[in-house]
Amino acid sequence: MEDLTLDVPVDSGHGRILHGVDLTVEAGSAIGIVGESGSGKSMTVRTVAALLPPGASTSGRVSFDGDQVADMSSDRLRRYRSSQVAMIFQDPRAAINPVRKVGNFLVENAVTNLGWSRARAREKAIDVLREVGIADPERRLNAFPSELSGGLLQRVMIASTLLYEPELLLADEPTTALDVTTQSAVMALIDRLRRERGMAMVFVTHDLELAAAVCDTIHVMYAGRIVEKIPASELHERSRHPYTRALLDARPRLDGRESRLRAIPGQPLSGLEDVTGCAFAARCPFAVDICRTDEPPVVAVETGEIRCHRAHDRLWGDS
């Protein structure tokens, strides 16, 4: 993804929600996109899958293995969305037809999209259900979505992506609606399948710690812009963007208790809002005059990239 902008229809015409997003996913790698509401993290992955709201328009380039996604015919796009990229969402119940049984969902999709015979599709469906840890898969094929827990249903969604052996998994908050113990199990499953199959992943979440645990690189988004790219292993010790640091510091600790948290003042900004200068400046403790007047450039630093006027200042004693 190079210099991507995304405009969507709003009451007053068009509003820009992504402002020049660059994203590179190497085959087999996992990148995390982290941010708060309105940061544009979900729209970024939807753009990769060419799943945009009606009336949306983009500039910049999205290419997959050399092919421009924008130039794909509808046939080519269907093939792209099944055998090359697959997407799983936060709410599996919204992504599955509630009156179709699990088996019907898995088998019909494979028959339609892959041209398999019904018998072969059924056999493969049983295989992938078993692979995602669902006991008694033959029986589960006859279940309606409402008969399965959120965790089991998300496993079914993951199984459905495995039918196609995609090269890239787009996961948009896939565990946010699940209990913590279920989240842990489902994340372990995604992580294992991804590694075994050499599948790349773009993982969208609001949870920095979760992203850092399962991704190679972290991209922090704010107001429709990527503000920091950093290897996950460096996130805690060496992140440098004031927003990344503020996010890490704002969470309460599991291993101790402070009387007050280091909250970030103000509201998260969405990409739609008009800003002069840096979008984070109004909430940033380090903002100086230029931050309020000029859009910050992307600056290469030892750990990756940050979008900050003060990239080379020692804002923290340790970095």
Residue partners of 73: CB distance under 8 A and separation at least 6: none
Strand partners, 231: 217
Strand partners, 2: 61
293 lies in the site for other proteins, by CB under 8 A: no
Q: DSSP string spanning 105-139?
A: HHHHHHHHHH---HHHHHHHHHHHHHHTT-SSHHH
CB of 199 to other proteins, least distance (A): 16
* Residues within window 83-142 making contact with other proteins, judged by CB under 8 A: 133
* Contact region with other proteins (CB under 8 A), list: 61-69, 120-128, 211-219, 306-314: 211-219
Task: State phi, psi for 308 to the nearest 5 degrees.
Answer: -160, 135
Query: Pick from 7, 100, 182, 277: which binds other proteins (CB under 8 A)?
Result: 182
Contact letters for other proteins, residues 235-274 (x by CB under 8 A): -x---------xx--xxxxxxxxxxxxxxxx-xx------
74 lies in the site for other proteins, by CB under 8 A: no
Residue partners of 99: CB distance under 8 A and separation at least 6: 144
282 lies in the site for other proteins, by CB under 8 A: no
Rg from Cα positions in the chain? 21
78 lies in the site for other proteins, by CB under 8 A: no
319 lies in the site for other proteins, by CB under 8 A: no
CB of 246 to other proteins, least distance (A): 7
207 lies in the site for other proteins, by CB under 8 A: yes
* Contact region with other proteins (CB under 8 A), list: 19-27, 98-106, 108-116, 208-216: 208-216
Query: Pick from 56, 184, 231, 295: which binds other proteins (CB under 8 A)?
Result: 184
91-108 burial by CB neighbour count: b if 16+ within 10 A, else e?
bbeebbeeeebbbebbbe
Torsion angle, alpha carbons of 222, 224, 229, 232, to 10: 60
Residues that bind other proteins (CB under 8 A): 36-37, 133, 149-152, 155, 179-189, 191-192, 206-210, 212-214, 236, 246-247, 250-265, 267-268, 283
